[in-house]
Amino acid sequence: MNDLEGIARRAMIDRCLLPDFSPAALAQLKAITKPAMASGAGIRDQRSLLWASIDNDDSRDLDQLSVAEALPGDAYKILVAIADVDSAVAVGSALDEHARANTTSVYTPAKIFPMLPEKLSTDLTSLGQDQDRLSHVIEFTVTPDGTLTASDIYRSVVRNRAKLAYDSVGAWLAGTGPAPKGVTAVAGVDQQLRMQDLVAQRLRRVRHEHGALALQTIEARAVFENGVLSDLRPDDPNRAKELIEEFMIAANSVAARFLEAKGLPALRRVLRAPEHWDRIVTLAAALGEKLPAAADALALNQFLAKRHQVDPDRFPDLSLSVIKLLGRGEYQVELPGAASPGHFGLAVTDYTHSTAPNRRFPDLITQRLVKAALAGTAPEYSTADLETLAAHCTEQEDNAQKVERQVQKSAAAFLLTSRIGQQFDAIVTGASDKGTWVRISSPIAEGRVIMGAEGMKVGDQVRVQLVHTDAARGFIDFSRAG
């Protein structure tokens, strides 16, 4: 594990990311001894509500809570509380400068490199269970047909009643598992989650009717036993993850529209209509399907839904191919009244990042802009500042993702080092003049076929034998068995 952590640290440095906090940042951290609190005009007290968090089992950097309220006519009010990080980390401070440099937490199987020190992100600025915390609440109403109507943002003191986990809540909502202890321990939390799930499914249905893309890739999650990496397992989607995803998308849209209504610029998150749409059309044609000549999210989603039904085993690889052709998301400064390119993949026009200020710097920027709007004061960033930050955040997000992928490959190679000579069932994920690649499922890992690749085609089910690994470079080599 020490070797893997060393690989991660070197990858961070190579990608212009800071693996360690500066002495000045640590000195500032030492002086912070309690969570930020405030009272007075404009700050509500909503600690009595049945707030709950849903995140990964081992997550402690809790950025958001949610609660639902039934309204007449089968409508619902959803409240999303966002951790008030700005009150603990001032603009221009040493901690802020570290966050601004990296712009995101970096999650690797070797180590998490948090954007803010764990004393803050997992404690004093985290919405931890049974803790009173200052927050920004994003409130919106959802009608029976899934339309998002009235909305508001304000500051509030909240208290997390139940720290819940995706997998157990997801299984319970789907009827495939028992109610988690956190759901049954506090009266009313179960009804809360049922309401929230109903609303999330309404929002999800409407977005997909408007062309939101139902993509599904295979994401590996590191598993540890006694502090030692033991496996990389698929991180599967479920109803609880969908619930949080829909509420975060809605909350981010509300934040974007709120800033525009207040006459302030925003750091929008955009995914433009794909430049390589013709290649997506060609990809569909190779599978016997026809897409229109001009980019059409609804048509693309209908194609994806059909392929998922026809060939579910190969759908994750098709999804990955489409994601690569869609291009990457980016941050862009949006001035009030200007047209926004929106987010092609999510099928939303107004969209920012606001719901994870412990983990992403753009969300902290948005929080500061919202706070200025609520106070009626000038924002702490000029338009020129925001333009510079938009480009920097886009670049550093890309660097962080490359580090995470690189260390993931090294972790897979590390796990497989002792299994040289073993055979695995695999699926061919790439076949071209540059080489042939396969993916195995236990652990989740991809490697190159260096012997016997002749005739292999993408999607083929094959048997391979592991012949070589190089954890330092993340290389895994197979030969075709037999």
Q: What count of other Cβ atoms lies within 10 Å of the Cβ of residue 14?
A: 12
Token readout for 241 is: 């993850």
Helical (H) or strand (E) element with 115: none
* Tokens 């994401």 sit on residue: 219
Least Cα distance to 133 among 161, 113, 114, 112 occurs for 161
Q: What count of other Cβ atoms lies within 10 Å of the Cβ of residue 43?
A: 16
Burial 322-358 (b: 16+ CB within 10 A, else e): beebbeebbbbbbeeeeebebbbbbbbbbbbbbbbbb
Q: How far apart are CA 450 and CA 226, in angstroms?
A: 35
SS3 call for 475: strand
- The amino acid present at 227, given as its one-letter code, is G
Helical (H) or strand (E) element with 269: strand 266-270
Token readout for 369 is: 């802009």
Q: How far apart are CA 91 and CA 84, in angstroms?
A: 14
Identify how many contiguous H helices and E strands the chain contains and give both numbers.
Answer: 13, 18
The pTM score is: 0.93
pLDDT at 1: 45
Helical (H) or strand (E) element with 15: none
pLDDT at 458: 80
Plot region of 218 (φ>0 → left; ψ -120 to 50 → alpha; else → beta):
beta
Is the CB of residue 24 less than 8 Å from the CB of residue 94? yes
Is the CB of residue 413 less than 8 Å from the CB of residue 471? yes
Q: Which fold has domain 420-480?
A: OB fold (Dihydrolipoamide Acetyltransferase, E2P) (2.40.50)
Q: How far apart are CA 269 and CA 354, in angstroms?
A: 10
pLDDT at 222: 81
Q: How far apart are CA 5 and CA 411, in angstroms?
A: 10
- The amino acid present at 347, given as its one-letter code, is A
Domain spans of the chain? 2-271+329-413, 277-326, 420-480
Is the CB of residue 165 less than 8 Å from the CB of residue 55? yes
Maximum CA pair distance of the chain? 75
pLDDT at 296: 94
Q: What is the pLDDT along the chain (482 residues), one digit of tens a residue?
A: 458 999 999 999 999 999 999 999 999 999 999 999 887 788 999 999 999 999 998 889 999 999 999 999 999 999 999 999 999 999 999 999 999 999 999 999 989 999 999 999 999 999 999 999 999 999 999 999 999 999 999 999 999 999 999 999 999 999 999 999 999 999 999 999 999 999 999 999 999 999 999 998 888 888 877 777 888 888 888 999 999 999 999 999 999 999 999 999 999 999 999 988 999 999 999 999 999 999 999 999 999 999 999 999 889 889 988 998 998 999 999 999 888 899 999 999 999 999 999 999 999 999 999 999 999 999 999 999 999 999 999 999 999 999 999 999 999 999 999 999 999 999 888 888 889 999 998 889 999 999 999 998 887 889 999 999 999 999 999 999 97
Plot region of 368 (φ>0 → left; ψ -120 to 50 → alpha; else → beta):
alpha
pLDDT at 2: 52
Least Cα distance to 344 among 270, 248, 246, 247 occurs for 270
